[in-house]
Amino acid sequence: MSPKTGRPKSENPKDTRIQIRIDKDTLTKLDECAEMQKTTRSEVVRQGINEVHKKLKK
């Protein structure tokens, strides 16, 4: 029997997808943040959610 191939399973898979509507100005800001941090739009959104959640828990 051959060994399994492919990527290893993630401990925290990102398998839920959401869609949002944003205006062009917000999209520009999102792209600027992603470019400055050398990351993706999704990661910037995750960081923003974590920041808001942290503030609300205080």
**Is residue 4 situated within a structural domain?**
no
Residues 6+ apart with CB under 8 A from 9: none
Domain of 30 in residue numbering reads as 24-57
**Is residue 35 situated within a structural domain?**
yes
* Cβ atoms < 10 Å from Cβ of 45: 15
Residues 6+ apart with CB under 8 A from 33: 44
- 13 or 51, greater pLDDT: 51
25-42 pLDDT tens trace: 999 999 999 999 999 999
Q: How many folded domains does the chain comprise?
A: 1
| Ramachandran region, residue 12 (left: φ > 0; alpha: ψ -120 to 50; beta: rest) | beta
pLDDT band at 10 (very low <50, low <70, confident <90, very high): confident
Is residue 58 predicted with pLDDT exceeding 90? Answer: no
**Is residue 2 situated within a structural domain?**
no
- 1 or 9, greater pLDDT: 9
What's the CA gap between 46 and 33, in Å, rounded? 12
Model pTM? 0.79
